[in-house]
Amino acid sequence: MKILVCIKQVPGTSNVEVNPETGVLIRDGVESKMNPYDLYGLETAFRLKEQLGGTITALSMGPMQSKEVLLESFYMGADKGCLLSDRKFGGADVVATSYTLAQGAKRLGDFDLIVCGKQTTDGDTAQVGPEMAEHLGIPHVTNVIKILVADERGLTVQMNMEETIEIQRVPYPCLITVDKDIYTPRLPSYKRKMAISENPEIKILTLKDMYDTNEKNYGLSGSPTQVERIFPPESNVEKTSFEGDGKTLAKILYGILSEKKYLR
């Protein structure tokens, strides 16, 4: 069984600046980590490999520093890694991102199953996985919280649809997006890290490697939705300072809370 897992490097903090001209996040110099939902996607792939056999390829899109999350996936159990990295991919919205990932998946070959995290913490759209499946022309199931049956022909999964829990059977090749309740992700293996060479092979694909090399379909050029204006929200909090010892400040705070009827 050939499994592809899409992973992403995201900012490790919510205090990230936005480029006022392009409307995209400024990631340079910002501490990064693997998107938390992708950890559940990797764990799902590992469980399926343990049951059905096969190989797992981790696919990511981003600058060269994104190789760090691919290395992390190796230490957890992935067999191969591929990074889609080209300046022409930068500034992509969900449509251009999903198209780029779909092109990368095609370039890597045929897969029985593609696994994505439900969403990313730097976008929270939950649209890239389903749109990627549409670009590839394969069935998809979202919000998967449990795999009931996994065999050589397909998966039977349980989905959290907010107000209902639904069960769906989906044949291979297909794509699923998994929620955080599906499994507990394993930690990277120090033993596996030591067994792998210092620089395991990570395939790098750029625009010229894609079947579609029209740069208008990627990055900002291929994004139908773009940010027109960015501005900080206006604060409606009145800033007032008080002076005094602890007892005095406590009385002032009690009076304010009582006046606003926060105390009962």
Residue 105, pLDDT score = 98
Q: Is 160 exposed, middle or buried (0-12, 13-18, 19+ CB in 10 A)?
A: middle
DSSP letters of 212-256? ---GGGSTTTT-S-------PPPP-PPP----S-HHHHHHHHHHH
3-class secondary-structure state, position 125: coil
Which tokens hold the place of 223? Answer: 């994004």
Task: Round the CA-based radius of gyration of the chain to a whole number and report it.
Answer: 22
The ranges of the chain with pLDDT < 50 are none
Residue 24, pLDDT score = 58
Residue 15, pLDDT score = 59
Which tokens hold the place of 166? Answer: 């639904």
Q: What is the pLDDT of residues 160-183, one digit of tens each?
A: 988 899 999 999 999 999 999 899
